[in-house]
Amino acid sequence: MEFNFQFDWQAAIDSLPFLLKGLPYTLLISFAGLAIGFVIGIVFGLMRIGPSRWIRWPAVVYVEVFRGTPVLVQVLFIFYGLPTLLGGPIDALTAGIAAIALNAGAYISEIVRGGVQSIERGQREAGLSLGLSPPQTFRYVIWPQALRRMIPALGNQGIVSIKDTSLFSVIGVGELVRQGQVYIANTFTALEVYFMIALLYLAITLSLSLALSLLERKGLVG
C-alpha cells in the first residue's frame, strides 16, 4: 500500500496571521480565569482547613464537584444551562473565563490547603510567642512560606488551564482552535493548521515552564 505524506510548509506559515487573531482570546481566558481562580482557591483552600465542619463541608462539595467533572461539561453547563436559570444569555467569553476560574479554583484550593498544612506547627507557635495575633502569624509567618512551596504546583495548574481553553471552541469563543477550525473550513489544510496551533500552545506553555525554572534557580520557590 502506497502512503503519500505531504506537508505544505507554506500553507502552515500562511495560516499563522489568522491563528494569531485567536491568541489574545486564549491568553485572556487563561489569565483572567486563573487570576479569579486563585482568589477562589485561597478562600476555599482555607475553608478546607477551617475549625468547623460547617465551613469545611461547602468547600469539600465545591472541590469534589469541579474536580470530578470535565471542564468541557462545566463550560457547556455555564453557557447553555445557566441562562435558563438566570433568565438571560451569557456570552461565550464570559462563560470561558468562568469555567477556567471555577475549575482551576477547585484544584488551586487543594494546592493552598496542602501548602499551608506543610508548614511546621512550630512556625505558628513561634509567631504567637513573638506577640503576633493568629491572623498576623498567618499573614507574616505561615503564608509567605506556604506560597513559595505552592508556586511550582500553581504553575503546573496554569499550564493545564491554558490547554483547557482549546475546548472552548465548542461554544464559539474565537480562541486558537476556533480560529483554526474557521481557517480549515476555507482552505482544507487541517494538518498544517493543527500543527501550527500545537506549536503556539507549546510556545505558551514552554514560556511559563521556563519562567518557573528561572524562579527555582533564583531560590524563590521551594
Determine the pLDDT at residue 212: 84
Instruction: Return the C-alpha cell found at 65.
Output: 464537584
**pTM over 0.95, yes/no:** no
106 CB neighbour count, 10 Å cutoff: 24
Radius of gyration of the chain (CA): 21
- Which CATH number describes the domain made up of 21-217? 1.10.3720.10
For 115-145, how does the pLDDT look when each residue is reduced to its tens digit (9 = 90+)?
999 988 888 888 888 888 888 888 888 999 9
CA 8 from chain center: how many Å?
A: 33
Q: What is the mean pLDDT of residues 49-55?
A: 87
CA distance 43 to 40: 5
- The CB-side HSE value for 208 (13 A sphere, CA atoms) comes to 21
CA distance 174 to 186: 16
Determine the pLDDT at residue 221: 60
CA distance 163 to 154: 14
For 10-37, how does the pLDDT look when each residue is reduced to its tens digit (9 = 90+)?
988 999 999 999 999 999 999 999 999 9
